[in-house]
Amino acid sequence: METNAKERISKMSKEDQKYHGGPIDVSFVYTPLDPNNNNQIRLLLLYPGSAGDPIKCELFNTLLDPLPEYQALSYTWGDPSNRRDIAIDGHKFSVGSNLYEALQHIRSKEACERFWIDAICIDQENSFERSKQVPRIREIYSLAQRVLVWLGRDIEPEDSKRNFGMFQKWDAGGLGDGDRSTKMAFDLVRKLSGAWQSAAVALLTANRENTSREPISVFDIIRAHLSQHEDIHISLNRRLTAEEEAPWLALGRLCWRPWFDRVWVLQEVGVSTDVAVVCGNNIISWTALLEAVGILEIHGYSQGASDIIGPMLGASKVRRMNVGKKFKDGEYRESGIGYEFLALLAQTQHLLATNPRDKIYGMMGLAAVGTQHEMMIPDYNKPVVDVYKGFVKFVLDTQNIDILCFCDGSIEFPTLPTWAPDWTYSIPRLLPSLGVIKTSLQTFSAAGETSSISRFSEDFTTLIVKGFCVGQISSLGRIQDVNQNHGDSLHFQELLDNWEAVATSPLVDNGYGDRCVAWRQLLIAGDGPGHDRRAKNAGYRIEDSAELYEEMRLSKGQSTGGLKDPSTQLKQYVRAILGWTHGCHLLRTGKDHIGLTVAHHKAQKKDMICILLGGQMPFIIRENNVGDHMLIGRCYVQGLMNGQAMDGPNWEPKLREFYLK
């Protein structure tokens, strides 16, 4: 079929090619793929055209071996109700408006080109075909000559305006809409990318010539190279003028485009060797964009550049998209496939998917998960609840119980058991610095060196896990309102007063010998001092936190404008507390321990604090009247995070089974 298409096209004039297909008649009908040939895909032959010309193309079945030449498109589907018609083989075919605009911009003006585009090359109405083709997506994108990332038109989408507008004035510097903004952003990316490359060469040279033991400051080198670009303005000791600020705001707009929030695009750029970013009529390389946002993050945060905080946050979104490269290169593979997949989901849970099954299926290619495990075969006919339950079984079969750390309850799927995470839950999870997945120094080992012991009931409704109870919740502090203005120091101090009253009544075994020390330590546990792996720093941190805590208390009663003349160290201290305790409330177990749990878990008095064998963190479990249990969620308990509950032989007689429903 491909050969016939080539022959027909070669005989046409450019004008004939441009308008090939004639008037659109009836709707397009797919030629089925061979179900017995896993090497077969479809490719789209896109005919040339200029702005305003109808979009004409052909669709043909072909084999990946021998490898045909083609490009792959990475884009967002957008509003499913906003659709346009194109012509495929002379027949009407409906596509989303964002894809329609992409086809208008990426088509050549002179020649036909082949593309792989999921919404067209996979029959989306055929769930069997989708299930067969999804495992091929990693291979399809990795074999493409080039991947084109379509961010949208020059005119800014309203949802991007809304997101970015939270952080910056939108009309600063006469930024305006459309091509002026996008071109300004792309020009800045090219300049920053050049500065990054110059700085990288300078850093290598400096390291070779460095004979002292003093570390070389990356910040200093970047600043030096930025200073050589008179047309790159970054705030140092002054605020930017509106004109200087405009390119940064334009770059911020770009970084907040919806493409950066989607699940599938992570794999699409992660496995590709040549990626270009297209926005309207502008194009840059993916590498240049990463280099640019790298400078924006490093330099901006090191300088506390508050006037470009919106672009800096947008830059963080872009940098997170590069996590796919790490997984493609097998950075976490030595820890086992279950761990690797869980680590990937932990870092990408904020991303969105139109189909909730794709929160799992969309990551399979990056984690190199094959379909050997019965629960990991893509099946779009399977209920979402069964897909999520199956993923738990897959991970637990690799002896990794840490998947339970992601169980926060489900509003979307009431029938989902408490032992299965709802991956559609895209709000940042409990205590974000807890390091649930061992990707940093901030790791815990509440169950020490033990291995998990678990099994499922025959009807796959109950998960039976082994562990023991270390206490019951006796009291809970006030909830920190996630919507509260963090600049309201009075509200913040009142919250801490409430927590302190709950926490510092007599404690028998807090692990520190001083209830006030335990309380202050809890507040900054997310900064690391509570971890045995950083025990050498704990004394300094605790002593330092005492002075900072008293300094913060002296600011009580100040206006909502924030703390009065706070020191830089105090600002960092308060920021650490806010980040660690956001959306949480304090818990206490009798006279033994204090800790934190996330507010939406809705923990109650008499809920059990349990250590499950093999788990990084303690868990809150509620016992029902009939002897079954509900998993409420994970928690942080001061003095129990590094295996202290496993010291000595006393814990073994306490072992029991919990029947999680």
State the pLDDT at residue 388: 96
Mean pLDDT of 629-651: 89
pLDDT at 19: 36
Would you state the pLDDT for residue 163? 55
Highest mean pLDDT among 341-345, 559-563, 573-577: 341-345
Do 95 and 84 contact (CB within 8 A), yes or no? yes
Query: Which of 273, 269, 276 minimizes the C-alpha distance to 324?
Result: 269
pLDDT above 50: residue 636: yes
Q: Which 3-state string (H, E, C) describes 531-580?
A: CHHHHHHHHHHHHHHHHHHHHHHHCCCCCCCCCCCCCHHHHHHHHHHHHH
In this prediction, residue 41 has a pLDDT band, given cuts at 50, 70 and 90, of very high
Residue 45 in this model has a pLDDT that exceeds 90: yes
* Rounded CA separation 284/289 (Å): 7
Binned at pLDDT 50, 70 and 90, residue 70 comes out as very high
Q: Residue 607: pLDDT above 70?
A: yes
Query: Parallel, antiparallel, or unpaired: how do β-strands 146-152 and 275-279 relate?
Result: parallel
Provide mean pLDDT across the span 24-47: 88
Residue 8 is predicted with a pLDDT of 42
Q: Note the Cα 580 to chain centre separation in Å.
A: 18
The predicted pLDDT at position 556 comes to: 54
Q: How far is CA 573 from the centre of its chain?
A: 26
Residue for token pair 């690391």: 528
Tell me the pLDDT tens digit for each residue of 426-441. Answer: 654 444 433 344 443 3
Percent of the chain with pLDDT over 90: 34
Under a CB-based contact definition with an 8 Å cutoff, are residues 609 and 589 in contact? yes
412, two tokens: 């979307």
Of 348, 321, 329, the closest CA to residue 149 belongs to 321
Predicted local distance difference test score (pLDDT) of residue 655: 95
pLDDT digits (tens, 9 = 90+) for 146-177: 999 999 998 766 645 555 544 444 444 445 55
Per-residue pLDDT averaged across 607-636, rounded? 92
The number of angstroms, rounded, from the C-alpha of 173 to the middle of its chain's C-alpha atoms is 31
- DSSP summary character for residue 306: G
CA-to-CA distance for 239 and 639, rounded, in angstroms? 45
**What pLDDT does residue 453 have?**
94
636-637: strand order across its sheet: 475-479, 584-589, 593-598, 636-637
Residues whose CB falls within 8 Å of the CB of residue 169, separated by 6 or more in sequence, listed in order: none
Q: Is the pLDDT of residue 7 over 50?
A: no
Lowest mean pLDDT: which of 70-74, 192-196, 294-298? Answer: 294-298
The span from the CA of 597 to the CA of 409, in Å, is: 14
Q: Whole-angstrom Cα distance, residue 94 to residue 85?
A: 5
Which one-letter DSSP state was computed for residue 402?
Answer: G
* Residue of 152 and 230 predicted with greater confidence: 152
Q: Which of the pair, 277 or 222, is modelled with greater confidence?
A: 277
The lowest-confidence range among 166-175, 402-411, 479-488 is 166-175
Q: Are 525 and 638 in contact (CB under 8 A)?
A: yes
593-598 vs 656-660, strand pairing mode: unpaired
At CA 495, angle to CA 493 and CA 501, rounded to 5?
A: 100
**In 250-322, where do the E strands start and end?**
275-279, 282-285
Calculate mean pLDDT across residues 628-655.
89
pLDDT at 460: 96
Task: Give residue 613's pLDDT.
Answer: 96
Q: Residues in the chain, how many?
A: 661
Higher pLDDT, 107 or 549: 107
pLDDT score for 537? 35
Q: What is the C-alpha to C-alpha distance for residues 189 and 303, in angstroms, rounded to an integer?
A: 20
Q: Which residue has the higher pLDDT, 404 or 513?
A: 404
* pLDDT number for residue 212: 64
Q: What local confidence, expressed as pLDDT, does residue 585 receive?
A: 80
Banded model confidence at residue 44, pLDDT cuts 50, 70, 90 = very high
177: DSSP letter: S
Tokens 């870092």 locate to 347
Residue 528 has pLDDT above 50, yes or no: no
**What's the pLDDT score for residue 178?**
55
* Cβ count near 557 (within 10 Å): 9
Spell 340-370 as b/e; 16+ CB within 10 A means b: bbbbbbbbbbebebeebbbbbbbbbbbbebe
For 90-156, list the strands marked E by DSSP. Answer: 91-96, 113-116, 146-152
Phi (first) and psi of residue 534, to 5 degrees: -120, 25
- Inter-CA distances, 83 with 56, 100, 546, Å: 16, 8, 60
Q: On the CB side of 221, how many CA atoms lie within 13 Å of its CA?
A: 16
Judged against a pLDDT cut of 50, whether residue 513 lies above it is answered with no
Q: What is the mean pLDDT of residues 259-267?
A: 90
Beta strand 83-88 with 71-74 is unpaired
Task: Give the model confidence (pLDDT) of 108-157 as tens digits.
Answer: 999 999 999 999 999 999 999 999 998 899 999 999 999 999 999 987 66
Q: 237-251, 378-392, 634-648: which has the highest mean pLDDT?
A: 378-392
Query: Does pLDDT of 418 surpass 90?
Result: yes
Of the given ranges (70-74, 424-428, 450-454), which has the lowest mean pLDDT? 424-428
| Confidence at residue 555, expressed as pLDDT on a 0 to 100 scale | 58
Gap between the Cα atoms of 342 and 400, Å rounded = 9
Q: How far apart are CA 144 and CA 73, in angstroms?
A: 10
- Rounded to the nearest integer, the mean pLDDT of the chain is 76
**φ, ψ (nearest 5 deg) of residue 580:** -75, -40
52 or 435, greater pLDDT: 52
Residue 476 has pLDDT above 90, yes or no: no
Distance CA 315, CA 418 (A): 35
- Phi, psi for residue 341 in degrees, rounded to 5: -65, -40
At residue 432, the pLDDT reads: 41
Return the biggest CA–CA distance within the chain: 90
**Distance, CA of 435 to CA of 341 (rounded, Å):** 15
| Confidence band for 88, pLDDT divided at 50, 70 and 90 | very high
How do beta strands 40-46 and 113-116 pair?
Answer: antiparallel
More confident residue, 346 or 287: 287
Compute the CA torsion angle 435, 441, 445, 446 (nearest 10 deg): -60
More confident site: 39 or 567: 39
Find residue 637's DSSP bridge partners: 595
The answer to whether the beta carbons of residues 96 and 83 sit under 8 Å apart is yes
Name the DSSP class of 11: T
CA 130 to chain centre: 25
Residue among 619, 639, 641 at smallest CA distance from 631: 619
Which residues are CB-contacts of 355 (< 8 A; sequence separation ≥ 6)?
Answer: 380
- Does residue 66 have a cis peptide bond before it, meaning omega lies within 30 degrees of 0? yes
CB 231 within 8 A of CB 240: no
Whether the per-residue pLDDT at 480 is higher than 90: the answer is no
Residue-level pLDDT at 200? 74
Return d(Cα 449, Cα 447) in angstroms, integer: 6
Of the candidates 627, 492, 487, the residue with the CA atom closest to the CA atom of residue 553: 492
